Amino acid sequence: MPPLVANYYLTYRCNARCHFCDIWALEPPNEANFETIQRNLSDLRRLGVKYVDFTGGEPLLRTDAPQIYEEAKRQGFLTSMTTNTILYPKRAKEMQGLVDFLNFSLDGADADTHDQSRGVQIFDTLVESVKLAHSLGEQPVLNHTVTAQNYQRIGEVAEFGQQLNARVWLNPAFTAHSNYNGKKNPTPEIAEAIESSAKQYRNVGYNKAALAFIEAGGNDTQNPRCKAVDAVIAISPDDKLLLPCYHFAQTGVPIEGRLYDLYRESETVDEYRQSQGKLSVCEGCTVWCYLIPSFFKGFDKYWWLNQVTYAGEFLARKRFLQRA
């Protein structure tokens, strides 16, 4: 079974300063040019990847972002983008129709909460961006990272989403972040808040498999569920294959135009494929951007809950759009 997803980091640069993320604090490397990205997309397609999540940093800081997305669509990929919306009003028309899954980051239902979390004053820009996206025929989803600081206010975010006629997707902050006061996983109270809010508000969704995995304690290195190398290909801005994943990368292998052969034949890749989910840093991991694709590989309750999640979300978004 081929890898499902490419997590393609276009840049580590970011114009926000979110308290639960450290990407913006990284020293930005030299970024690959369009031709390099184009070649890697071709190899990803040969490898069987269907979905490319162009991420960052802030993807819209790349001046060639529309060109990159247009190339991905030309090659037949489904695409996604998560943006803090600072640049979206200026670039929305350039990106129109190029992003299959458009996500706007939202940390609170009011300017003080959202801006404090983001480290910059952008709440008004978020509201403007949702309205602009709707005017262009786009249907952005409000991505809400649920943390120990905000889980008691999910209802406010849901109601704010209703006001903007937008769905809200709840992402529990994962263990690569340090906002749990030393605890490895989100608390039971956070999980309960996510589940109850999704029952109460029809415009709210979350991944049932990811939350169940969190509640079970995350990845067990003795019986690993993570298939980060098999399910996901992670590429850095400076054209390196990150192994086993971005968040706990142990190495970055220069791609240099050979992604297809590298992924299939490299001894280094095979070494990390054999040890995926088994490294010491993998114990208790709940990094959902690698675990959710992993749940598509292997039949168990997480596979089933993943299927239920996406089938339910498809129907929910269809009903939501019909009411819009």
58 membership: H or E segment, kind and range: none
Which residue, among 217, 210, 148, has the nearest Cα to 185 in the 3D structure? 217
pLDDT at res. 310: 82
Q: Give pLDDT, residue 183.
A: 44
pLDDT at 22: 75
| Burial degree of 28 (CB within 10 A; 0-12, 13-18, 19+) | middle
The CATH number given to whatever domain includes residue 315 is 3.20.20.70
Residue span of the structural domain in which 159 resides? 5-323
**pLDDT score, position 179:** 35
The predicted model gives 277-295 an average pLDDT of 92
Q: What are the pLDDT digits (tens) for 210-253?
A: 999 988 989 999 999 999 999 999 999 999 999 999 999 999 99
Interhelix angle for 123-135 vs 111-118, to 10°?
100
Q: How many domains does the chain have?
A: 1
Ranges 18-22, 177-181, 223-227: which has the least confidence: 177-181
Residue among 118, 104, 112 at smallest CA distance from 147? 118
Phi, psi at residue 323, to the nearest 5°?
-85, -20
| Percent with pLDDT over 70 in the chain | 93
pLDDT digits (tens, 9 = 90+) for 126-160: 999 999 999 999 999 999 989 888 899 999 999 99
| 232-235 β-sheet, strand order | 204-206, 168-172, 141-146, 101-105, 78-83, 51-55, 5-9, 232-235, 240-243, 251-254
Per-residue pLDDT, 123: 95
pLDDT given at position 24: 74
Mean of per-residue pLDDT scores for the chain: 90
Which residues, 6+ apart, have CB-to-CB distance to 146 below 8 Å?
154, 170, 171, 172, 173, 186, 190, 193, 194
pLDDT at residue 56 is higher than 80: yes
What distance in Å separates the CA atoms of residue 172 and residue 174, rounded to the nearest whole number?
6
Instruction: Give residue 3's pLDDT band: very low, low, confident or very high (50, 70, 90).
Output: very high
Do 69 and 8 contact (CB within 8 A), yes or no?
no
Choose the weakest-confidence range: 35-39, 178-182, 302-306, 314-318: 178-182
Residue type, 160: F
Condensed to tens digits (0 to 9), the pLDDT of residues 101-135 reads 999 999 999 999 988 888 889 999 999 999 999 99
The pLDDT score that the predictor gives to residue 324 is 56
**pLDDT at residue 322, as a whole number:** 57
